[in-house]
Structure 1
């Protein structure tokens, strides 16, 4: 049987005795296309002759690829039967060009692997550093729709031309396939966007995990902003006939940090941005560090070097961001440079709370009992349904089973609630009535 011809993305090798040459071809195809397929057990003309496969054959291929292609890639290695003959298929993808094989650099040209000269290598590196990786990497799913993105364009007052929309927004790569940016902006995807809440100042006690992913990044960003706005409570202070109000945190600073994290993260690394809420602060983390041509001082001054230029352009058209870089100075003005923890592979923005977040109920002014927000919510649920079960509290609150039990125990110890009767027929009794919330 004949399975085709060699191309810029496909290479045939008769046996694994040509493993070194095959690995060279993989690196060569990665440098040309970011993708390559290598078959063992197939002649150069596409004729399937079969490959002997031992107990360690596939493992040795995997180890050789890991040892001799740099930067390292994770191959997909499969054993196939073609006309009852063993064939090994190896597939690689990567965006961190240039790739070397055995310390040398190659570029695919038709079905040949040509070693790069120093000049050609430099050109490849320069081109790679200036390219928009999200538009080059193919989407893992090609059956995509973009209704939510189109609605966002219409809402922003822009015209959507159905026939040319995908091309005009850069949702396809040079091969005419949907790219990774399209996957991010599609109506449905498998990208996780989480807001995680912890009980204290560390990650020891997780109490809530909100998931906003699985949908267009435009929608996910908005959902997170809406949620954070909903928890941004106001502290009201009365004194000397004056009333003052203070928000828990500066929402414009969070908005800038969150939008920048989503737009400038290196999505090709596979780690989406996330929000962590602690008892005293918010942390927004994104992947990738600073662009190679931007130092910290330039970053602090608000100089803009977009990591994903076409993605930023789309969000600019939708009115989410500007290219002036004013977001970083806003955060620094409110919280100082120490708000940014800039690492090689991550940027973590910390927004401290302006005051201690708590709720209080009590019998009188001199005998107040502290109740946190989560406990107050549990009390509210119990006041509406004295027969509510722990399972129902978990379902309605979104808190974990362990945290619900911990709160119930705490409230009983504070003599705020008590349980009367058994687990099945018993009821919750609120001993102290809520006099209102003090933040």
Structure 2
């Protein structure tokens, strides 16, 4: 015999109703709206709030009344199915609402026109940002495909071109801008194009990085804020991680073996995942990279695109639905991610491959309707022969730097706001060469940039300060 527990086990979401409130259709049609706008769901009539079956006296009348109210108060009409069930000798009616293709689905009545969404166990009015997502879904469009007022001739894509050549070994061709969906044939940038432009005009394309002192938020040891194109933010994120995490080594008979706190590929995969799948419709938002003594936490706006909660799913079964398919495709072309959507699994596998890995260090993924979070734990193995090697790294890095790079380091130490143009004038070296030197100092973990191109400043990392101290002794 079927039970109510067996029925709800098959539902993505559900509500119980003792009876049909014909005089208050909004009280239950808001759930119909929310289910149609989301992943679907069911309302069970003849069941009280505790999940106890109380039954319906006239199922046929309830079915007819529901059909009438949906026709009068819903726009567009959602795809529903009414299924009667007999449980413990009593009738229960299941109103099954399917996930809709023509969102938003509105409740229209009492002089109101409201689209509802599901948040936890509640059906709430959609915010303006959520309405935008529903409209995009209903028109089969994505935010990254929308056109902007920006023209291709007013923007450059050198960073994208250089990254493409470096990662694929192929020459960049301007026609890729069109084939990748970054510009239209008329030369207008899409939102994706604006996010990949050298000087991205998208104010929400931001990254906040913080290295906290300890295992909780409190005093910050180091912090930085970056605004710009997606590839720049990715590069700055990885530099910040390298500059603010430890590298250990184990002494071997014939040398030493590096033992990092984190798998670099796992961190890269996490950052790519957050930049690509974040919700860019949330204005004034950003990706947060927080580094603690024992973990890295990455948080971005926007939950799972399909509305589900990642902590309730087996990551091996997570579908590859993408909120920003154009961004995802470009990153796949750049070999930053795989098209089959296995990023979360790779984060786990790369972390697991670290020597000294334990089950309690398995990465954790959390989501709410408004944000997604990835937590990667440090491989803090404590054993004889493993130690902090700041002094040794300092010696190695100093040997790798040229005299000009050391001069640049001196200038930055003296004036953190110095521009690349001013460095070029002082050294008599062309700007292109200075930029290469700066990139070398950043990738070596010596230098980071805090703030924007115009109002920002250079910041020496702990390693950078150690290098400078060694030079001045």
Give TM-score scaled by structure 2 length: 0.46
Give TM-score scaled by structure 1 length: 0.49
- Larger relative contact order, structure 1 or 2 (CA cutoff 8 Å, min sep 6): 2
